[in-house]
Chains A and B, each alone.
Chain A
Amino acid sequence: METYQIYSITSGVLFVIGMGGVFLSKHFIKKIIATIIMGSGVFLAFVSFAERDALSFADPVPQALVITGIVVAVASAAFALALARRIYQLTGEESFTIEK
């Protein structure tokens, strides 16, 4: 089994774990972390195929895209965190409540 195959399988598993976390976890922070895990799965897929296409070095274009992606993901997570903390400050809610 090649290195990239191991990590590309891991990337699929991570993506689904993150998606499950987005649906099933309640607390805001857990939901945000779940989206980050989902994103990490996507990045891992990118870089594992970059490793497959390596010549003297791994394919740099997906690597550069992933660096950009990580930074953008962090920026959006910071914004989500600001929203979550503000919601908590104003309403005292720590998760989305479902009306029944």
Chain B
Amino acid sequence: MTITELFTVILLVAGCFFFLAGTLGVLRFPDLFTRLHALTKADNLGLGFIAAGMALHIASPWAAIKIFSIWLFTLLASSTSCYLIARFQKEKNPPKNRKEEG
């Protein structure tokens, strides 16, 4: 196993770990806001790790740019949709326990 393969495996495993954490969060967190947090933050990080691992594995600059732009656009789209969903939910029924936490 070369050093590149080793790094690829480490990156992919790290990515899978964050995806698993994000999925667990979506399934276990109590309300929509915390679930959105799990979905967008953990999963985007996981996708970033997997994208980095794949770019390393393919080892061609052109493919790496494509993979990187996929990650970038997913980040943009998912953060926007997260924001929109959260705003919609906030207008419909605002979260109640914010003051106690702050």
Query: Touching in the complex, A and B, CB below 8 A?
Result: no
- Residues of chain B whose beta carbon lies under 8 Å from any beta carbon of chain A: none
Interface residues of A, Cβ cutoff 8 Å to B: none
